[in-house]
Every structure is written in structure tokens, then in C-alpha cells.
Amino acid sequence: MQVLIPSALYSYTGQTRVEADGATLAAVLADLDRRYPGIRFRVIDERGNIRRHIRFFFDGEMVQELTQALRSGGELCIVQALSGG
């Protein structure tokens, strides 16, 4: 599937769109980490939870669980919230 990479993670991939495989969000993130070491830790915390400032959308619908099934051929978008003060 196509994975859209936010600018904050571009340093890992060098591209704004990459390919990854997996039947669940967790499997896709594991494949991304295999291809681009360290990227998973930027979106998943030490306890194995999605970081608070990260959102995932698969074909336009928010994915909130790592165990959620994903169809092959879809598009996963990683969105990183911006904050400021």
C-alpha cells in the first residue's frame, strides 16, 4: 500500500510517499521500520501505543487501533499534529 509520510518523518524515508506491506496497522508500521529503521518509534511509544500527536487515516477513515485490518492497495496517511504557543 501507499503510505503518505509527513514532513517531520521525511528524514527517515527521503520521500513523501513510500510502499509498505501488512494486513494490520501494526504490521504496516513494522514493515516501515524494517525499511526505514527508527520510524516506528516516532509514531508508537515505549508501551506500544500510538503517540498522542499522531493520527492514521486509511483511505480517508481514521484508524485508532494497531490491530485494525487494512486492505492491500489502499492508502495510509500518517498525520502529525502541530502545536505551538
Reading the block at residue 28, the C-alpha cell is 504496516
pLDDT, one tens digit per residue, over 70-85 is 998 999 999 998 765 5
Cβ neighbour number for residue 77 with a 10 Å cutoff: 18
CATH number at residue 29: 3.10.20.30
Q: What is the average pLDDT value for the chain, to the nearest integer?
A: 94
- Whether residue 42 is predicted with pLDDT greater than 80 in this model: the reply is yes
Question: Is 85 among the domain residues?
Answer: no
Establish if 30 belongs to a structural domain.
Answer: yes
Instruction: Give pLDDT, residue 85.
Output: 56
Give pLDDT, residue 84: 58
State the residue range of the domain holding 72.
2-80
Number of domains observed in the structure of the chain: 1
- pLDDT given for residue 81 in this prediction: 83
